[in-house]
Each structure stands twice: as structure tokens, then as C-alpha cells.
Amino acid sequence: MAGKTMAAVVCTLMLVSIISPVIGSAVQIDERTPRRQSVSGDTPQWNVGDSWTFDGEGAFEMEESPLFLNLTGGFSGVQFIVTDEDADTYYVDFEGDLEAALVVTVDNPPMDISATLRKTTLSGYVYFNKSDMGIREFYLNITGSITASIEPIPLPFSMSIRMTFTPPYAVLVFPLTVGSEWRTSSSEMVVELGEDLISLIEQIVEMVKKLVPSDVAEILDTLLETLKDMFPLEISVGSELAECVERENLTVKAGTYESYHISIYMVELDFSPAAENIIRLFLTDEYYGHFGMELTSSTYRQPGVPEKPETPSGKMRGRLRKNYEYETSATDPDGDRIQYGWDWDGDGTVDEWTDFYNSGETVLTPHSWTERGSYEIRVRARDEHGLAGEWSDPLAVTMPSQIWHSWLIWLITQFFQTIRSG
């Protein structure tokens, strides 16, 4: 039963409680950095203005005779931003775009209804407990218009929902280490429907009643009253087993990050110390549907960490076993000296660390390749205290260059054409 409760909570809080930064902070991981960086740090400390932006998509399907329901949709550019804080709480607002399509089929009486959301935005807020990043309160508002098969004229709407948690609902326990296990916290969740949402449901029921027999219309009225009586709804959120499975290098829309892969019941998520947040998440329910999201951008910067280096510049085509120099630079907010970690083969791990250089100094690093191929090289900066920043944007390099081979093929072709014509 606890599993099903967790599933309901996860689905309900899809847009906020999971993708919000409830997971906390960690030091950066690197295959070649000291072992102390293989574990996460303390609960994060954020600043007003820190933000994380996500895209996501999902589907929900339910078939319980005589009803079939299919809902698909996605959101884009949903930005979570820290707007305020006090001694105990972080206040985070969010806003973004939403689109969705709904299909409902009823066998008896036979009825097919379809609807789409147009020009729709979602917004709201989340309050986080500073001590463990548990969620205290969550508010969601969706505003836009609905176009439905039963009412072709777009129907403006607004719907809102509020949830509170006692005690605050926390997902992870720090520090994180690969192989560690824990249980998510238990909490009492209270769900309240906004008056605008109740009004929207009433409008939809009235439209459907025009299409069904009178006895079915009476049933709909009864169901509506039952729904109203259910709220505020109190739900006991049970704890679930969680495990930190592995650390890995992961590329999402926001860039390439070193991350911890964590498994919690139906949820698989990746938390990155550099982003101080989840960078990718999948929820899969074998009976009802799926949901996925990933980080597209972030303004968060770990205090004291060097800035993202300039994109490497240098020879993009060349010959095997010949040294070519590649240039980059980065600055450290504390003015610390910096060394650079180069990923020469594009696998997301550091292949070579340089010596230390002054902050902001341009660095030239030679490298040669021994195998043919196309590579995306990137670089990251690490200061004297072991704090490593994010990866630079990549530079595409091809070794060996194909220009010589193309010219040779052309020359041979011309030679044989000359022989034939002769």
C-alpha cells in the first residue's frame, strides 16, 4: 500500500516536488580527483536568484470499463527560482509553458471526448525546509484555454491546487555515497482544490450532461458532489527505500555533468553536484504511464568553484601522431590558481590535468591522436582546493583530416576517366 501511495504522490507532484531542488548539495565527483569527493556534502545553501530550468513530457492512460482515458503532454522552460529566504525556509517560485491532449472514451453510453490545452502556462511556488530540503508547501496554478470536441469554442480556464506536508517531505539523506541506502521521510499531506478548479469541473460536467441520458446525468451530479466532499483530502505519505546506485557522466540539454544515479521505487533520477539539483528524471508505472524531464539550464554556481572555461580553440582537422595546441581560459571567483582537465576523446572524463595557472590566464595544451575518428574535446577548471567547475562547450575535431583523401580520390578518378577517353 505504501508503494501505491508513493506513486500517487510522485505523479501529483511531478512538476515540483521531484524536479525541484529538494535533493541538496554535494561536492563534485571526478574519476581522478581525491577520493573525498566521491561523497556528497551537507544540505545546500542557496542564494536569492539561483534558478534551474526544465523541459519534460509524459503520458497517463487508464482503462477501467466502461471508461478509457489517455492524457499526453509536456512542459517547456519551467524555471524554478529562489525568490526569498528566512531562517528556516527557502521560497521558490516557478513558471513555464504547458501543453496537453486528452482523449476520453465511454462504452455505455457510447461517447468520445477529446480536448487540448492552448496557450497554457503553469506557475506557483514551493517552500523548502532549510535543514533537510523537505517540502513544506506546494501551490500550482494552470491558466489557459481548452478546446474540446463537445465545445469547439475555446474555453478560458484557471485551475489551482495546494498541498502542505507535516512534517516536511524530504526525498534524500546526506551524505550520498555509491551503494548507500535510506528511506524517504514519512509525512501527512493535505490536498486542497482551488475554487477555480472546482468551477472548471462543474462547467465540464454541465457540458457532458447535455450528451448523455438523464439517468447518467444524475450519476454525474452525484459524483461531482462526492468529489467536493473529498477535499481537503488527507493522505499519509509512507517512506520508500532509496539507493544511490552509481556515479556517472551524463549529458543533458544543459550540458555534461558528473552525477549520482538514484533509484526510488518507480523513479530513476540523476543528481549533479555541479547543478545542485536533479538533471534528469524518469518515472515509470507499468499500469498507468510514464514521465521524463531534464535540466535545460541553470544559474546556480557552487561557491568558490571556477567558472565554465572558454570553448577550446585550435586545429579542427589534422593528422595522426602530430601535436596540436588547444587554447582555453577560465576565472576563479576567489582568485585561486587553476588547473585544467582535458577530455580528449569525448567520453566525459578527464584524460589529462595540466599544471596550475593564474586565474584568467590563457592556457595552451598540446595533444596528438593515434586513432582515426571524430572527437568532441572539452575542458573543465579546478582550483587549488579541489573545487572543479562545469565542462566547457565542446570543440569537434576530426583526425585525420579527410581533405587529403578526398583530393586523392578525385585525382584517381580523373586519371581513369582520361584513360577511357583516350
Tell me the domain boundaries of the chain. 2-298, 313-404
Residues 6+ apart with CB under 8 A from 54: 19, 75, 78, 80, 96, 293, 294, 295, 296
> Given the C-alpha cell 558528473, which residue does it identify?
258
Per-residue pLDDT reduced to its tens digit, 26-71: 233 333 333 223 344 567 778 899 999 999 999 999 887 777 889 9
Q: 96 or 220: which carries more pLDDT confidence?
A: 96
Determine whether 179 is exposed, middle or buried from the number of CB atoms within 10 Å of its CB (0-12, 13-18, 19+): exposed
Q: What are phi and psi of 169, to 5 degrees?
A: -90, 110
Mean pLDDT of 253-264: 89
CATH of 313-404, one of 2.60.40.10, 2.160.10.10, 3.10.290.10, 3.30.465.10: 2.60.40.10
Determine whether 389 is exposed, middle or buried from the number of CB atoms within 10 Å of its CB (0-12, 13-18, 19+): buried
Per-residue pLDDT reduced to its tens digit, 155-191: 899 999 999 999 999 988 777 789 999 999 999 999 9
Please state, in angstroms and rounded to a whole number, the distance separating the CA atoms of residues 336 and 327: 20
Mean pLDDT of 329-336: 95
Question: pTM (2 decimals)?
Answer: 0.74
Per-residue pLDDT band for 238 (boundaries 50, 70, 90) equals confident
Whether the pLDDT of residue 18 is over 70: the answer is no
Per-residue pLDDT reduced to its tens digit, 112-150: 888 898 889 999 999 999 888 889 999 999 999 988 887
* H or E segment and range at residue 12: helix 2-12
